[in-house]
A and B are shown apart, each in its own frame.
Chain A
Amino acid sequence: MSLYRMHILVCAGAGCITSGCKEVSEALKKALKENNLQNEIMVLETGCMGACELGPIAVIYPEGVFYKKLKPENMAEIVEEHVVKGRVVEKYLYKTPDEKIIKKINEIEFFKRQKKIVLRNCGFIDPTKIEEYIARDGYEACAKAFEMSKSEVIDIIKKSGLRGRGGGGFPAGVKWDFTSKSEGDQKYIVCNADEGDPGAFMDRSVLEGDPHLIIEGMMIAGYAVGANQGYVYCRAEYPLAIERLNLAIKQAEKYGLLGKNILGTDFSFNMDVRIGAGAFVCGEETALIESIEGKRGEPRPRPPYPAVKGLFNKPTVINNVETWANITYIIQHGWEHFRTIGTEKNPGTKVFALAGDITNAGLVEVPMGTSLREIVFDIGGGVLGGKKFKAAQTGGPSGGCIPAEHLDIKVDFDTLKTLGTMMGSGGLIVMSEDTCMVDLAKFFMQFCVDESCGKCVPCRIGTKRMYEILEKITSGRAEMEDLNRLRILASNIKEAALCGLGQTAPNPVLSTLRYFEDEYIEHIEKKKCKTKVCKALIKYEITEKCVGCGVCKRACPVNVISGERKEMHIIDQTACIKCGMCYDKCPFDAITVE
């Protein structure tokens, strides 16, 4: 093996691929070749580094110089200046909001404040090479686990206090223990990679950036509970994750790390990937099991729990991707060490997908119990465009919002519950003052109506009725009594629905009602939407400032703006579809929206 004097890591996570990192990487390799440096400098395409907003990104080691927003045509300059002459090219470096230039990756606030366990290899290794995973102590934890007894392994996970990261926060070790004690000639290990929460991409990034970590975690559980078949259930929207997983499984098989008699023990373990087909409810564990069995993904009543009667009616451990990603770390470093991170009841870290109206959208991992303010402002860089923070949504369509007055709460499973929301899988959507909370509630309710599997009545019909009431409110046809109707429906659905989807579907409505009831009332009584989101309640008008340039007339898709050149134009209110095109296009700010 040849030694390289420099490594250039190009982020090839989903965000950066969208931003064109492949072309950047090609240009970089070409420039190195032109300078005859291809044997001295190694280029690696890694998984997501997290700073999606800044992509495409390249980090040059050993110094860790961080270049952002690169274009293919910049690469020759970086090679000639930085690689050949050793001069850092300042103009591509990261700048803080107050224009301070920062050279190294670990000096940037966004990275400095994070604590990486789950994402420790993401962005550092080439996920398509098992050798790189092994070089970072990969497959060491399983070797260590195989030297312990099965109950010792379960005991360590139990004592670590690791809670399931898929949303519920159920202790992983306890689940393993149940499964190991259940009778069954065959048992299964399942990884829930359905990542149904729209607006979340943590699991995707782990699978794409470090697939072996999941395989190893599942294998350890297989050993501990006595299962020798594992399935990863991955949503079809993530083709790259599926490809990387399949590749990783093949590599592990070739190295004898999957298959018969792993590492000379009498333990055998095989893995397969099963692909979802676009149904949110399939993230629910019993529906997921139905789906792996090749059926409609309709949930089963629990109990019996999967630990007793799961996949193909056999005892099954089912955990989320991020939960699996914690296992090797705990085995390697011990449960005592793991408990020093995070809070007492919530040990470890949590990965969040920051999105919405936030400056540094991307992937972050912080110790449990970090305050929302630190996540959104110190790491996330605050609200986009200097706007005011209104609320953050956690838990996706099953969760709720956290308003500005609670920015200082410590984020973990239990505190979020007390605020009427939940951790969910880690999607964290920041909303600015421009977001209408009633419309937001309607958006989530629409989602639940679409995704309800139809098996139980409270969810199938109840969510639809709630949606209709919200529709009434946002179109100015509602009365105050409708708020009560919403609350009654919500509590009935919560109580009577069969699975978690229905039981949690009313949460976004309840939570926005709790913190933003005044907005609901304003919609109903004043027929006003102060954020100007609800179309039926707004009106576009052209004012005196109009110089008659005609831009709005041309922009209007339904041709309802009239007026002669150089004279004030007018909108035909009866036919206006309120698309806002004229408002966006007017160069003189002559159009108002009320």
Chain B
Amino acid sequence: MACECGNCIDYSVLDRIVEESRGKEGILINVLHSVQEHYGALTPDIQKRISDGLNIPLSQVYGTVTFYHFFTMVPKGKYVIKICTGTACYVRGANKLVENFVDKLGIEVGQTTNDGLFSLETVRCVGACSLAPVVTINDVDIYKRVSPKEIDGIIAGYRQKEAE
């Protein structure tokens, strides 16, 4: 039963994911993916609960979470901007995009804006190299052949969407 106090996290989804996976060999990473997708981050409390549920040492859960780029222990902004810095995008000027985003958002790569709206990340190749340089937002909005000039417009678009 979820607690009624309003401060506690509702673990029912986590428990269900763990329940479905228990006993399957090497399932930890898949569980971490599903849990992070639902809760936004793998906080220490969440890791503890996964460790108990799957009967895997907490050290192994923590070790795995911190090893892979994909997992995060702090929640991300509403819009996660990923700039591809794979080779194709690098050759076509991805570094300039990074500098510009850093400049325009006032945050470094890996950080989130104070209003919780944007997180800035770099990724190594999203597989759309022929349309480099590529920027994705929340993995669904994909911008191709981005030039630094377009960045203002992209950010403004999401800000406006929020304002509405």
Contacts and interface: CB of A to CB of B under 8 A. Distances in A.
A429 interface: yes
A396 B87 contact: yes
B28 to A, nearest CB: 3
Contacts of A14: 127-128
Given A201-B128, A293-B26, 18 more contacts: A15-B130, A18-B131, A18-B142, A19-B131, A52-B131, A195-B127, A198-B88, A274-B29, A277-B33, A291-B29, A294-B25, A295-B28, A357-B92, A427-B87, A435-B91, A440-B90, A444-B87, A584-B148
B131 A15 contact: yes
Contacts of B68: 276-279, 297
Contact of A356 (B91, B139, B142): B91
Contacts of A393: 87
Q: Which of A17, A237, A397, A435 has the most CB of B within 10 A?
A: A237
Contacts of A447: 124
A422 to B, nearest CB: 15
B51 to A, nearest CB: 12
A440 B126 CA distance: 20
Interface residues of B, number: 45
A59 interface: no
Interface string A356-400: 110001110000000000000000000000000000010011000
A429 B125 CA distance: 13
Interface of B: 25-30, 32-33, 56, 60, 63-64, 67-71, 85-92, 96, 99-100, 103, 123-132, 134, 139, 142, 144, 148-149
22 contacts: A18-B131, A52-B131, A53-B131, A196-B124, A197-B87, A199-B89, A200-B125, A200-B129, A201-B129, A276-B70, A277-B71, A278-B68, A291-B29, A297-B68, A355-B87, A355-B91, A356-B92, A361-B130, A397-B87, A435-B91, A444-B87, A584-B148
Given A429-B88, A557-B103, A292 B26 contact: yes
Given A19-B131, A52-B131, A357 B91 contact: yes
B25 A275 contact: no
Nearest to A208: B127
A198 B30 CA distance: 23
Contacts of B99: 579
A204 interface: yes
B70 A355 contact: no
A429 B133 CA distance: 13
A89 interface: no
B64 A295 contact: yes
B60 A295 contact: yes
A294 B124 contact: no
A334 interface: no
Interface residues of A, number: 60
A278 B69 contact: yes
A237 B126 contact: yes
Given A52-B130, A362-B130, A429-B88, A18 B69 contact: no
Given A278-B68, A429-B87, A443-B87, A355 B132 contact: yes
A237 B123 contact: yes
B87 A294 contact: no
Contact of B125 (A201, A279, A298, A357): A201
Contacts of B88: 198-199, 355-356, 361, 427, 429
A195 B20 CA distance: 29
A341 interface: no
Sorted nearest first, the 10 A-B pairs with minimum C-beta distance are A198-B86, A294-B28, A199-B87, A277-B68, A52-B130, A361-B130, A278-B69, A355-B88, A198-B125, A355-B129
